Chains A and B, each alone.
Chain A
Amino acid sequence: MAYELIETIEVGAGGAASIEFTSIPQDGVDLVCLVSGRATSSSAGGIEVRLSGDTSSNYLQRNLLGTGSGVSSTGGTDTAFQLATNPSTYTSNTFGNMSFYVCNYTSSATKSIKVDLVSENNAAAGFQRLISGHWNNTAAVTALKIFKPGDNLAQYSTASLYKIY
């Protein structure tokens, strides 16, 4: 009956292509992953999250994005959840933050997810995203991978995975 830390992973010197939790214990109800991330390149593409190694187009999401000066709603289907973090051009030592919530992660039904994330650049740009997602796969979530295609996560990027039970 708790919110229990499974593991925290911090990226070391030189960066890393991904952060991955594997062999996730199957004795929880929900999963929460808190991520503080930054990319090593200036490319604008965001980080992605993939579950249980599933590379099929089973990731559906509806986004509500606020930029400080406008709001938009986008959505679609992809081979991983499409998220965001700070690129290297953002203010030094700043990281984007995200809460990634998976409901009933051991169930044999498809999974709902909720994401809150923010990134900010020295008061010149700021983004907040609220995401409702759906992993169209009935398998239990046994692994969670955070990565940025064609890029690395910068040193001191961290991710903590919790189970709620």
Chain B
Amino acid sequence: MATPTYDLIDSQVLGSSASEVTFSSIPGDWRDLILVVTKVKAVNSVVPSLRFNGDTGTNYSRVSMQGRAGNQAVSNSGTLNTLALNSDDSVGAGGDATYIIQILDYAQTDKHKSLLSRSGQYTTQANFVYALAGRWASTSAITSVTFRTFTDAFAAGVTFHLYGIAG
């Protein structure tokens, strides 16, 4: 039997509203991490973002391309204190967004951390699709990942799966 290469590290389902969810004490046993977040909706309106190891410094940057009804665009950021995943589109109470985020070489201590994110939703409220590349300017191994919002809170039912990929 082949060696499993895509391991489920942890899962969480929001039982009540929360402004952030953190996976902590992540072992450095894999090459990459993949965070899959589904059924994302807000109490009112959220813009999901990431932080690593609780770092609140301006150590995050990103570039993205996005499509939505009627237009398409590209955007980039300067340095930020959190890494917004769909900065030009919020997710509302009727939202149903999905995020698939690959964090590369997360345990390496000789490089800044890169990530690739795919996200989007198609609901009667709004539909959008994003491809994003991001960087956390730190050589520290990632031991915690926080999925958070700038304002408001995620509604109950949001589902999180964190996987490790062997490499």
Contacts and interface: CB of A to CB of B under 8 A. Distances in A.
Interface residues of A, number: 33
B80 interface: no
Given A64-B66, A101-B100, A164-B6, A132 B131 contact: no
Interface stretch (A9-17, A104-112, A138-146): A104-112
A75 B118 contact: no
B135 to A, nearest CB: 20
A102 to B, nearest CB: 10
Nearest to B118: A114
Nearest to A134: B122
B interface, over-half SS: strand
B118 A164 contact: no
A48 interface: no
A132 B119 contact: yes
Interface string B35-57: 01011000000000000000000
A33 interface: no
B38 A131 contact: no
Contact of B69 (A75, A131, A164, A165): A75
A132 B100 contact: no
A72 interface: yes
18 contacts: A2-B4, A2-B7, A3-B4, A3-B6, A4-B4, A62-B67, A62-B69, A62-B122, A64-B65, A65-B67, A72-B72, A75-B67, A104-B39, A110-B96, A112-B39, A114-B120, A130-B129, A134-B96
